[in-house]
Amino acid sequence: MSTLAFTVCFAVWMMFAVIGIPIKAQLGLNETQFGLLVAMPVLTGALVRLPLGMLTDRLGGRIVFFALMLATVGPIWLIEYATEFWHFLVIGLFVGLAGGSFSVGIAYCARWYEKRRQGMAMGVFGAGNSGAALTKLIAPAIVVAYGWTMVPQVYAAAMLVTAILFWLFTYDDPAHKVSGHISVRDQLKALKDPVVWKYCQYYSIVFGGYVALALWMTKYYVSEYGFDLKTAALLAACFSLPGGVLRAVGGWLSDHWGAHRVTWWVLWVSWICLFIMSYPNTEFTVQTVTGPQVFHLYLGPELFTALLFTVGVAFAFGKASVFKYISDEYPHNIGVISGIVGLMGGLGGFLLPIMFGALVDLTGIRSSAFMLMYGVVWVSLIWMYTTEVRKMDHLVKRKRAAPADVLE
């Protein structure tokens, strides 16, 4: 039930990725304004993750999850009545509450399982990210058949039904709640932990980047390759679907191989793919002995989609492995830590689409979005190498040198 509820919440959270395109045409928005439109729900979803995680630790996940879903039904319904750009921005902030469901559900689910199975459990719950793909498959068909205003009506009804089903088929365990004598100040001490901020950096790309691309790719396919809305959304789902469903596989891999090893390879695979995707459509002339030769470098939709699919798989594994780090190192504080990490990941999902639009407006290069993400992954790789890989290498060398020291 938690996975189903999170899937519906995530589908709602990503709704503007599809309906934002006809709204952009209706209001005559530029790329930066479109980026702000689709990112506005992500802002609220990010900011509420920490307080929702703290509430989950104290009150239990069931009541918090149920109340959160009910709180979004009204704002979703009101979208169809918006007529001005600022209307959509304000309503989007309230719709974005649905994105805060992650920090509630992840803490609620994890506590039902022993440590050795928590990676898989959280991965199954996190597969609700596939709600982004669900929106790519359902919303375009509704837009084409009935117009974009029908989408929020359908989604509001779906959210209400899901909330009722969730309440009927779930239950609480009082032992999962954090003891009342722990103050908010004690809970927030995690903000001073540099390790938590490192996990925030990892999550800002594997989740923040996932959210940003899930919001951006339908528009990218329409603009870059000239596809219609339904085809563009279907191709964009090649990223969103594996990026959500395979999170459970990432949890299983993290349980068996460790969070560090999985995250390390996730970052390297993402870095290579994003480097290729960031190269713009280029034509250049080389002066040869037989005269000038013109070369054309172009990433066709087939190869681009294959690379995008690979990044989606890598991000799915990475989202699970980051939370395996958390369950291993902070077993009694999952709600707060997941709230902090989820908040920073969500902020990445908010800021990146706006930056994508601004970069396109400034440079005129659509692939500049992937250049930016390539840089973020590079920062994560450097941070992981300096704090984890080098440390492990040093420990291995000390271990190998230990027998010689004993002989001396």
In a domain, 213, yes or no: yes
Q: Among all chains, which residue has been given the structure tokens 């709704």?
A: 15
Question: pTM of the predicted model, to two decimals?
Answer: 0.76
CATH number at residue 133: 1.20.1250.20
Residue 244 pLDDT = 73
Angle between helices 2-13 and 31-47 (to 10 degrees): 150
Residue 33, domain member (yes or no): yes
Residue that the structure tokens 């609220």 belong to: 44
Beta bridge partners of 287: 292
Q: Is residue 198 part of a domain?
A: yes
pLDDT at residue number 406: 44
Q: Which domain holds residue 296?
A: 2-174+185-407
From first to last of its 408 residues, what are the pLDDT tens digits of the chain?
999 999 999 999 989 989 999 999 999 999 889 989 998 998 898 888 888 888 887 888 899 999 999 999 999 999 999 999 999 999 999 999 998 898 898 888 878 888 777 778 887 888 888 888 889 889 999 999 999 999 999 999 999 999 999 999 998 877 766 655 566 666 667 678 888 889 889 999 998 998 899 889 988 999 899 999 889 988 988 888 887 778 878 888 888 888 889 999 999 999 999 999 998 888 888 998 888 999 888 889 999 999 999 999 999 899 889 888 887 887 767 767 877 888 888 888 889 988 998 999 999 999 999 999 999 999 999 989 988 877 765 555 555 555 555 444
* Residue 179 maps to a domain: no
Per-residue model confidence (pLDDT) at position 408: 45
- Residue 186 has a pLDDT of 66
Domain count, the chain: 1
State residue 27's pLDDT score. 94
Q: What is the DSSP string of 102-167?
A: HHHHHHHHHTTS-HHHHHHHHHHHHGGGGHHHHHHHHHHHHHHHH-TTHHHHHHHHHHHHHHHHHH
pLDDT computed for residue 176 by the predictor: 66
pLDDT in the model for residue 123: 78
Report the residue count for the chain.
408
Domain-embedded: residue 180:
no
pLDDT of residue 407: 42
- The CA–CA distances, whole Å, from 342 to 40, 75, 174, 192, 213 equal 16, 23, 24, 16, 17
Q: Which two tokens stand for residue 279?
A: 């190269």
Per-residue buried b or exposed e for 172-195, using 16+ beta carbons within 10 Å of the residue's own CB: eeeebbbeeeeeeeebeebeeeee
In a domain, 350, yes or no: yes
